[in-house]
């Protein structure tokens, strides 16, 4: 890899690469909690010069031993070099559930296992999906597997904003009403459902109206590619009960909005018509502008910097402090903000 890098740089070449989006799921994870199930999060690393470099973290899935993460990791596939990947899964302690995932100290979480592969092993699979057995830090097999799926990314910045509501959902609870939420997935060519978005949970309501969601063209691929919309009754245990599902496309959702009609829910395999209908209150196509779009169009920014000399953030020698100096080199909150301001100043100049 080093020799090839040196050759390409010496000849003013970047090498050939394809931007990829990695999706993740896991199965039969170990249960590390006493009164509930594990709350897993996956961390992705590349191995460069014999050391690991973190390139992404998923969200935390509460109470699940079969997590299907929505957060994706972006990576450039360079077919002329070897690109080792390491995946590590952690059970996130309850007291850290309100902490942003990028701020989590992994040493304070329960380790559920890790897996290894080269990026080429994923993209050379027929369906671009690879299942891996989890192992402990010593390389011995552990319970559970994880699956990584790769797809090429699109360059378009078009997006669709939609507002959904449902009527007359089937009640799944005994002493109250269901707590529904929607999950939207893209169906790949091999019929693998890849989750791309989900709504918030509406408590105790069989006629829920959710906040608007936005799907980018990168997420839904094209207007005619199949999507799976599923409605679940939320359960704190993680065993969400399916209230209905339907297969559709962005083009069909637009027609549904224009007609003001409702779409019927069906069972998971589409064999049985279920109670409840899905409606669209808004459907709007828009362009997602980047930070540089605003700057190049004359957008002006003013900002002030203040230094806090109080001791309210705790001892900088403890990991809980926002001023903590991590021996591994991980930046604390203040260092991250300083880097952002430095980058901002670079663009403004």
What strands, in cross-sheet order, belong to the sheet with 73-77?
51-57, 40-48, 84-91, 110-118, 129-135, 141-152, 18-27, 73-77
126 with 193, same domain: the answer is no
146 with 174, same domain: the answer is no
> 71-85 pLDDT, tens per residue?
999 998 887 788 999
Q: What is the pLDDT of residue 217?
A: 86
Picking from 134, 152, 170, the residue at the C-terminal end of a domain is 152
Cβ-defined contacts of 8-17 (< 8 Å, 24+): 15/78, 15/80, 15/81, 16/78, 16/79, 16/80, 17/76, 17/77, 17/78
> 199-249 pLDDT, tens per residue?
999 999 999 999 999 998 888 888 999 999 999 999 988 899 999 999 999
Tokens for 115?
Answer: 């897996």
249 with 336, same domain: the answer is no
Q: What is the pLDDT of residue 342?
A: 77
22 with 148, same domain: the answer is yes
Q: What is the pLDDT of residue 312?
A: 75
Q: Report the predicted TM-score, pTM, of the whole model to 2 decimal places.
A: 0.66
For residue 264, is it within any domain? Answer: yes
Picking from 87, 120, 152, the residue at the C-terminal end of a domain is 152
92 with 174, same domain: the answer is no
> 85-100 pLDDT, tens per residue?
999 999 999 999 999 9
37 with 114, same domain: the answer is yes
User: Which residues, 6+ apart, have CB-to-CB distance to 250 below 8 Å?
Assistant: 160, 215, 220, 222, 223, 224, 225, 227
Q: What is the pLDDT of residue 11?
A: 47
For residue 293, is it within any domain? Answer: no
For the chain, the straight-line distance linking the first and the last C-alpha, in angstroms and rounded, comes to 36
For residue 267, is it within any domain? Answer: yes
| CB-facing half-sphere around the CA of 279: CA atoms within 13 A | 14
Per-residue pLDDT at 151 exceeds 60: yes
For residue 3, is it within any domain? Answer: no
Q: What is the pLDDT of residue 13?
A: 44
> 251-266 pLDDT, tens per residue?
999 999 999 999 999 9
Average pLDDT, rounded, for the chain: 87
166 with 43, same domain: the answer is no
140 with 170, same domain: the answer is no
Torsion of CA 210, 214, 218, 222, to 10 degrees: 70
Q: What is the pLDDT of residue 311?
A: 72
164 with 222, same domain: the answer is yes
> 121-144 pLDDT, tens per residue?
998 887 889 999 999 988 898 989
Q: What is the count of structural domains for the chain? A: 3
Tokens for 108?
Answer: 């304070």
CATH number at residue 148: 2.60.40.150
Q: To which residue do tokens 């040493």 refer?
A: 107
CA distances to 93, 129, 195, 198 from 23, in Å: 23, 9, 9, 15
Domain that holds residue 331: 300-345
26 with 141, same domain: the answer is yes
Picking from 129, 152, 175, the residue at the C-terminal end of a domain is 152
**Choice among 8-12, 180-184, 212-216, 281-285 with the minimum mean pLDDT:** 8-12
């Amino acid at each position: 890899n080093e020799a090839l890098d040196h050759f390409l740089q010496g000849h003013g070449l970047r090498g050939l690469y394809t931007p990829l989006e990695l999706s993740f799921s896991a199965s039969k994870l170990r249960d590390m909690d006493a009164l509930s199930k594990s709350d897993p999060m996956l961390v992705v690393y590349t191995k460069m010069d014999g050391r690991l470099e973190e390139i992404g973290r998923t969200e935390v899935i509460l109470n699940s031993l079969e997590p299907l993460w929505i957060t994706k990791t972006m990576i450039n596939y360079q077919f002329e070099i070897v690109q080792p990947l390491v995946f590590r899964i952690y059970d996130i302690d309850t007291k850290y559930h309100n902490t942003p995932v990028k701020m989590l100290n992994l040493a304070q979480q329960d380790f559920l296992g890790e897996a290894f592969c080269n990026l080429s092993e994923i993209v050379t699979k027929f369906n671009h999906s690879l299942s891996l057995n989890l192992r402990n830090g010593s390389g011995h097999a552990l319970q559970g597997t994880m699956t990584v799926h790769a797809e090429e990314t699109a360059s378009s910045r078009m997006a669709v904003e939609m507002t959904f509501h449902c009527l007359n959902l089937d009640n799944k609870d005994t002493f109250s009403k269901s707590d529904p939420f929607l999950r939207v997935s893209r169906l790949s060519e091999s019929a693998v459902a890849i989750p791309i978005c989900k709504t918030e949970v509406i408590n105790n309501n069989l006629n829920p109206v959710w906040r608007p969601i936005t799907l980018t063209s990168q997420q839904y691929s094209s207007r005619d590619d199949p999507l799976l919309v599923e409605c679940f009754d939320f359960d704190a245990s993680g065993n969400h009960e399916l209230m209905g599902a339907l297969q559709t496309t962005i083009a069909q959702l637009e027609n549904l909005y224009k007609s003001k009609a409702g779409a019927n829910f069906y069972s998971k395999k589409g064999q049985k018509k279920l109670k409840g209908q899905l409606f669209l209150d808004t459907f709007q196509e828009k362009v997602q502008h980047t930070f540089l779009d605003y700057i190049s169009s004359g957008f002006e920014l003013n900002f002030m910097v203040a230094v806090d000399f109080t001791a309210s953030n705790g001892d900088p020698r403890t990991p809980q402090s926002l001023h903590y100096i991590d021996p591994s080199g991980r930046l604390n909150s203040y260092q991250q903000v300083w880097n952002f301001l430095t980058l901002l100043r670079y663009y403004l100049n």
